[in-house]
Every structure is written in C-alpha cells, then in structure tokens.
Structure 1
Amino acid sequence: MATGWAGDGAVQDQIDATVDDAIKRARSKLPSGPGASHCEECDEPIPAARRKALPGVRLCVSCQDALDRAEGAAAGYNRRGSKDSQLR
C-alpha cells in the first residue's frame, strides 16, 4: 500500500541504492596494478606476504591504518538510521 508520492517498496529501493553506491565506492578504492615494494608514504619495505595478499598495494600496514582512520573520521554514514528516518 503506497502512501503519498512514494510507491510500494520505495524505502527499500532507496536503501538498496545506498548500499550499492557504498559497494561501488569501496571497490573503486581497492588497489590495482603492480604493487610497490616500498611504502609510498614512509619508504619502509612492504612485506611479500602483504603484497601477495593485496595485489597493487602501495602503503605499509601502519600508513594504511593511519589513512583508514583519517578517512573513517570523515565518513558520513548514519548507521543508526531506521527505514522511517530515510523518508523524512
């Protein structure tokens, strides 16, 4: 049963679109191409196991952790939002 201007399933469609966008954004940040043998930030050697696990890796673990923390602080996702809050 639709109410107002929203069609049946409109809320779920919006949620699905948000999740799809987040997945695309995350995949676009994955490294690709040949990996680096030394970190681009601190010039420390990147272990062979890390290069094997993440093809295309460019940063050592500590520099990647610092980058992830900096980007995480700026993330704008409201993980507490309910379906109802997305209609407002």
Structure 2
Amino acid sequence: MADAIDTATDYEQARVTDRISAIQNSVAAQNDDIYCEECGDEIEEARREAMPSATRCVLCQDIFERPGRVRRF
C-alpha cells in the first residue's frame, strides 16, 4: 500500500511542478517576454496573441515537436 501512495504522491508532485512551470512561462510571456527561448528571435505578434504562453517561435516549436528533425542553427 505504501508503494501506491508513494507513486501517487510522486505523480502529483510532478503534475504540480509542471503546472507551476506553465504558469511561470505564461506570466513571463505576458510581461513582454517576446523572444524565442531557442533562437532568440522575436516571437511573431500573431503567435503571442493566439498563444500567450508560447516560449518559442513557430519554426523552433515545429523543430521541438519533431525530435527527428535536424536543427538549422
């Protein structure tokens, strides 16, 4: 029984940590954090408006979501 509780506690802690990170990233984006965390280029205004929590430009997000692709930088 203790193992199940430990596993559940670990899972919940990871979920809370992930949520806190997402909120912090969203707050940073709302505070005019307009530069891509990968390449440093400005994130397009339309993307920032559509997804205020975005931390990558469209190109870098595409690369991030497709790990088999080769980076061009």
TM-score, normalization: structure 1?
Answer: 0.45
> Does residue 59 of the first structure (1) align with residue 56 of the second (2)?
yes
Q: Give the aligned CA root-mean-square deviation in angstroms.
A: 2.9
Distance 1:19 1:40 in 2: 27
Does residue 45 of structure 1 match 2:34? no
Inter-partner Cα distance in structure 2 for 1:44 and 1:58? 11
User: Partner of 1:32: helix, strand, or coil?
Assistant: helix
Compare 31-40 and 9-18 and name the one that shifted more: 31-40
Is 1:32 paired with 2:29?
no
1:27 Cα offset (Å): 1.3
Residue identity (%): 28
Structure with higher Rg: it is: 1
Contact preservation (8 Å) 1:36, 1:56: no
Q: What one-letter code is carried by the residue in structure 1 that aligns with 2:26? A: S
Per-residue CA deviation, residues 19-68 of structure 1 (Å, 9 max, x unaligned), is 11110121122112215333255332313453234324333241782xxx
Q: Secondary structure at the match of 1:29?
A: helix
- Structure 1's 48 and 18: CA in aligned 2 closer, same or farther, altered over 3 A? same
Output the CA distance in 2 between the equivalents of 1:22 and 1:60.
Answer: 26
Structure 1's unaligned 5+ residue stretches are 1-8, 70-88
Aligned length: 58
